Structure 1
Amino acid sequence: EFIDVAAGFVEGAAAERRRAGRLSFQDLLLYARDLLKEQPRVRRYFRRRYRFLLVDEFQDTDPLQAEIVMLLAARNDPAGWRDAELEPGRLFLVGDPKQSIYRFRRADIDIYAEIEERFRAAAADAPGSARVDVLSTNFRSRPDLVTWQNDVFATVIAPDHDFPHAQPSYQPLVAHRQDGGPSVITLRPNTGAGWRRADEARRDEAAALARLILSMVASDDGAVTVRDADAPGGRRAPRFRDVCLLVRNRTAIELYTEALDKAGVPYHLDSGRGFFEHQEVRDAAAILTALDDPSDEVAVVAALKSAPFAASDVELLRLANAQRDAGARDGKPGRAGFQLRREILPEGYDGPLKGPIETLRGLAAQKAALPLPAYVDLVLRETHLLEIQLARGRTLGAANLQIIVQRAADFAANEVDSLRPFVRWLSTQSRADLAEAESPVTEVDDDVVRLLTIHQAKGLEFPVVILAKMAAAANRARQISVVNRDAGRIDFQIGPAERRFETPGYAAARDRQEVYARAEERRLLYVAATRARDWLVLPVFFTERTLGFHADLAEALPGWLDQSQEVGARGTMTLRVEELPATPAPATVLYEPDAETLRDDWRRRHAAALERGGRGPDFVVPSQVGHDGPKQPRETEPRARSQPTSHPDAAGEDGRPLADAGGADSLAWAPPTGAAARRRGIALHDGLFLADFDDPQASVWRVERLLEERGLASLRAEVARDLRRTLASDLLGRARAAEQVERELPLVTADTDRVSEGYVDLAFREPAGWVLVDYKSDRDPSAEAVAGYERQVRTYASMLRATGEPVAAGYLLFTADGREHPVPLDA
């Protein structure tokens, strides 16, 4: 009865997802399987369409995926996938059961073993109908490293007699490389070292690994080298980018990042889940939430306590007291609260929260005037969130903030161009702990150490692999339920120990599950060890209660847990922490601040940090060229950079660009247009960006919907007329016929002291080269305005030519009348 209730709940939730059109990945697999299984016509259609099937990484296949594959590869109409008669030559599978490490994603090693057995049986019964080949040559690792892997994993990875499918037999590898020499380093603590707590062992291990990395990179004695075909003799000392720290999970990962920071080792922590829990992401979400609903006092307080404003509880209390006192004077007892209204700042209040509150109120007043991505970008820059990350040396943090802007752009394009739904989406993502790829700030040439989980590193390789946190235990909670999909059965256990209920088959199912989970942990160690090309580093730091992978290695390497010995298979060298060069420690200076001047000191340090974070080369936006000099980044960059370069004529109420309003030394120029003209220009740019050049009417409908979503329905007729006229222009006719068309083409060029960045509204390639088009929504531009616009297009042309691409022509396309204005590019 309990299972029936649970099944009804699951089926009801699935029906609701289908009704709402929000299917999960698992739903898609399930419906695809059902379609193939229940509809013979569909099955036959896809069999004809896909004559051959190749499945890579087959060991990671889950039951639904395997069933889909078998239904497509069968030549009969089976009742179930096990009844499928495979057509010879139709199915090609590639996999390594020793690398099956995705049980949490329903990957089933039983299915791999069962299908492999079917192939072997078919090959024996009807030679030529099937074949199983074993690939044993290792092209990645040095010979001594391959020898170590064979010696260790022949013991660690061995079948279980009671559950033969839980673990495959180990197949020895054969090294292809011929460069011999030690390849495994065991890093042991100093003799006599010991720890009672796991965090103490991890802290010492992290510090030792930071020292080891520095010594390897600085090594010039040739003891530790990596292969490099471009280096003299084909080998060189390791660089930071050659090193990867692998961990089983991210628990206590901050101990390792702190040690790397302290030692000055550059690194990048590749994350995934937890993206929305990064402090800079939470700060941005808190500020956006407050701006979305200025009446939400909790959100406003969270925004004030975020990193850009750093309001303390004492400061908030003083503001509340000031509100109460002002209310008493005015005959309005009580306090005004923390809503972003005028009353939040009582008359005469000049405390530290005045500036932050005025900043938030100013930003809240602008949210209706800008598209969502431009507004989010403005908020991040006006609050200096980006500079705060850069001042702390957190390139990743700054890049993660840029991801939020990109997500806002995606949300506006695919969902709705409005702040409130986007804020709700951010909140949903955070609560659900959904995975989000962090910014890919590390490229091949970035000289940084990578920190990855073993699952993230699967399929990758590195010259030097350090297997950190080897003593960490697996993340295994007590199994409350165990599912047997073949039998269609769920066994479970509920209740506290003294009143526990379990189904009759629960104990056996749990024991089986434990065997399979333990076998997968050993395969996880194998995957980690086989990521290394030249060196595998194994730090031997553990407590008696936390052994983790060390318990597995101890089975293959007797004496491994004896810290007084130097134990290892062939190709191993042992280092003690005391043998490593010491990491220079910064001098410690006692700092005793004067309580009276503490806040002023903090303000000075904070301002200096912001200045350092914003310092950089001169930054030039093409819409700002043609003046005496470049814009200086510290004074004006946060405002100027927030202006969407695709909307250079988007001016504020006072006639200046929104991004530069208030910047006394701004170098930007814009025609004196009002708010309505600004909104019309932005809508036209967005409409042309989204337009289908082959379907003008659909493009008009799209921009009309966009205007309704932004509350600008009064502009529909005017914008629709201009959009139709622009889409009918000869220039866009040429774009329709072009071999390549790019919209909002991003361009960035740099020299020693200047960075230029911009977006070309439209670029299309003709036989003579690229044609650049910049949209302008001015009704009657002055000669000065046109000259400025021409300089902008010439700058775009010079930036694109700097990449080696030919530029044939440039145009200003005035959307008000469809007029095309050729720009002399070499003037």
Structure 2
Amino acid sequence: GERVRDILSDESVQVIDRRTKELRGIQGRDIAILCQTHKTLEQYAQVLRAQGRKVRLEEAGWFESRPVQLAFYALSYVSNPGDRHAALYMATTELGSASLEQGIGQLIEHGSISDSVLDSLDAVREGDVTRNVYAMVADTLDALSFYDVVSLWPDATQARASLLRLQSEAEEFMTSNREARSSGGFYGDGLPSFLAWLSVKVTGKDKNRKPTPRVQDEDAIELVTWHASKGREWPIVIVGEMDRKVEPRLPNLGLGFDDFSDLGTLLDRASIEYSPSFAAPEATESFSTALQAEAELEARRLLYVALTRAREKLIIEWPTYALSGKGITPLDILTSACEIELCGRQLKVGEEMIEVEHFLGAQELPGDLELSELAGSSGLSSIGRRAITPSSEELQTTPDGVSPSTIEKGASEQTEAEVLSYAPALEIDGEYAGAEFGTLVHRFFEVGNTPEPIKQRLAEAARIEGLTSELVDNLLARVECFDTWLVDQFSPSSIHRELPIIALTDEGSVMNGLIDMVLETDDGCWIIDHKSDQIDDSMAAFGNYQTQLAAYKDALEKSGEKVLGTAIHWIRKGDIVLQEC
């Protein structure tokens, strides 16, 4: 960008006019930037536009452009008036008069939409039935006064060029071989076949480029791919993307021939050669290696085309890192094939030294270069009527399933709770991993006051996991003490341990989990959750689990149970924080 700016701002730079053969001042159209891919050219165009330069570039997105989409849906409606989507689309655009809400309302109530733009299209459909596709397209655009409409748009010249291409596509469809179209699945010569044919055609390589407006802009710098530059010339050419690695594109489909000695039987001996692409590089490498020589040969041809497009001055990007040897690049090919080496302000070609202009390019974009508006993410178009009012409201989604511990905390009704102690704090010597220790401790309380053989098997398992015999004995004693306290405190008719639950939350998610303990009494039930956390304040820590307890409570109440209260059992502290409902 800086080099182009310097060239255009230098009044001493002159070029020979191709028509008059006389010297004149440099203009933007005298400069062409050549790169291998459209993607890279779009990046160059973005920077040049941000610097205030005009550019000419055949960009992608012709079929998705506003004028073509409007025309396509108009033709879809003319082809099939029962196409409700096409009718709704046309009625709610700048060519129609309905809002999206009104359009959908009419469809629901009457099954169709009434709008002036659809009346105009109905008139086209009811016209001469002998018209061909080209005439139908022309009549549709005329009925909408579409060329007049787009003439008021900010990019009027581009919009007009896009519509002209649409008409030329209709002409190409008409003149194409009917049998060839049929082999592709497009039968007939009518409008429906044309629309289907066009939708498929634009998915091909370089088939969806926006046409260049038929306007010569003397200040516009041309951006062209190496391949598309063949047969063209400019006074000054800048060849870029010399650092792109030369490698075969996979998957690859080609024709193979044994020899060309007998052209009469050439097709009989031809074969289709397919090279697939794999996710594993080592699998792909076996195919790409066989095609590498052909890829390098094609790169040489394209490089020759790019380097011979300049009539007066050639500027080559020279990224020295592209000569690192980590892969073949066009710069590698140029330096090796021509025995070229850049030595300061001299270019060594073979044994000859040639004086050249050498400029060091910027390592990064200037900080004051505004690219945000040109990145294609600006959102709504500046033209047309909007059927939907834009909103910044965030999308709220509901997960399919949740667990009680992952439900987000919300505002809940707070009631008083009390701390009850049933045993002194449990002395634990040594360090135990939180998750593993917590799971093991839960197993003790899950078993509870069961027969002695089961307790002994649990104790043996705990010792294998690394718990000391003293701690195991203390835990067994703690379980017995806790169960005795429960009976004295609640007089339960039954005790459920590790009770599975499944319920639907108010938001529509399926919640499933396990409640550590549910006590059934004559008046209702109590929910108790065991916690092996190391805490200082039982009451303060209780607040962290109120949402989880509330989820358990809601699940049981939805199943018809009456919940009297919830509690957290702090195993290490020997405390129970009890909250009545």
TM-score range, shorter chain: 0.3 to 0.5
Structure exhibiting the larger radius of gyration computed from Cα positions: 2
Q: Which has the higher strand share?
A: 2
Q: Which has the higher helix share?
A: 1
Relative to the length of structure 2, the TM-score reads 0.47
Relative to the length of structure 1, the TM-score reads 0.34
